[in-house]
Amino acid sequence: MNTAETIRRAVAQVEQMRQESRALPDIGAALAAVKQFQARRFRGTYADLLAAGPYAGATRFFLEELYSDRDYAERDAQFARIAGAVERLFPRDVAGTAAALAELHALTESLDHAMARTLPATGIDVASYVGAWRTVGRQADREQQLERVVSIGSELARLTRLPGLRLMLKMMRGPAAASGLSALQRFLESGFDTFADIAKSRAGAENFLLIVREREQRLLQALYTAEPVACETELARILGEAR
């Protein structure tokens, strides 16, 4: 499957789930609550990195672009409308990263929607979140989601080492805007600059991604295997909630 087909299929899957959320407002409300909860969880898990240090920028990038409760409808619409142009306008390595992002987005939306279907629209707390997580299951998909996040980070770090690519991306601003690719252009430039910054130190990007993998794997393991009360206590600690 080529880049354009991969992007179109992923965006179509996301749009189908959006239609369900619009048709069933309770699911839409629960979905928004899931995304807000998970964004808070990410901020809590990486509060030390967000506060200061060499990985603050990379952590913010992951939060805003991969773990955010932001509405990505604009970026998705651009992807769907000009999926074929991604291959024509951007270098092959960059187009591949765009396709990987689309697939990650579709998988993330699928997992979030599955949880939303098990939750009431009235709100979410640590107990209902843990319950929804375990009801949905799909551990293999959760692990694949994490690996795709780390893979995109690794690919962005690799792209920073390609001679002349940053200049090429800068030169693409005009054509990208004219083709309706401004959201993708912003993601690529932001990711490139973020990982170029931490790559200035030896193994900086690799160390950051290792931290992300280790912390997320630890949480995944707990959510699937620990006693529910232990999971709830840990999530409450991460969120700064007393229990």
pLDDT digits (tens, 9 = 90+) for 140-173: 999 999 999 999 888 888 877 776 766 766 766 7
Residues above pLDDT 70, as percent of the chain: 83
State the chain's mean pLDDT as an integer. 83
Closest among 100, 103, 97 to 188, alpha carbons compared = 97
How many degrees, rounded to 5, is the angle at CA 236 between CA 54 and CA 224?
90
Q: In 3D, which of 92, 72, 60, 64 has the Cα closest to residue 10?
A: 72
d(CA 223, CA 143): 12
The predicted-structure confidence for 1-51, as pLDDT tens digits, reads as follows 677 788 888 888 888 888 888 888 888 889 989 999 999 999 999 999 999
Q: Contact, 153 vs 44, CB < 8 A?
A: no
The arithmetic mean of pLDDT across residues 186-193, rounded, is 76
pLDDT-above-90 percentage for the chain: 34
> Mean pLDDT lowest for which of 59-63, 108-112, 182-186, 215-219?
182-186
**How many structural domains is the chain composed of?**
1
| SS3 of residue 91 by DSSP | coil
Q: How far apart are CA 132 and CA 171, in angstroms?
A: 46
| Most confident among 42-56, 69-83, 94-108, 193-207 (mean pLDDT) | 42-56
Rounded CA separation 6/208 (Å): 28
CA 95/CA 69 separation, integer angstroms: 25
Q: What is the DSSP letter of 201?
A: S
Give the pLDDT score at 204.
81
- Residue pointed to by tokens 């401004």: 182
Looking at residue 144, what is its pLDDT? 94
Which helix or strand (DSSP H or E) is residue 220 part of? helix 204-225
Q: Tell me the residue range of the domain where 15 lies.
A: 3-239
According to the model, what pLDDT value does residue 111 have? 95
The residue among 94, 71, 90 whose CA lies nearest residue 15 is 71
Query: Per mean pLDDT, which range of 91-100, 108-117, 124-133 is the poorest?
Result: 91-100
pLDDT digits (tens, 9 = 90+) for 65-79: 777 777 777 667 666
DSSP codes, 160-191: TTSTTHHHHHHHTHHHHHHTT-HHHHHHHHHH
Give the side-chain half-sphere CA count within 13 A for 25: 1
pTM for the complete prediction?
0.84
pLDDT at residue 179, as a whole number: 64
Instruction: Answer yes or no: are the C-beta atoms of 31 and 111 closer than 8 Å.
Output: no
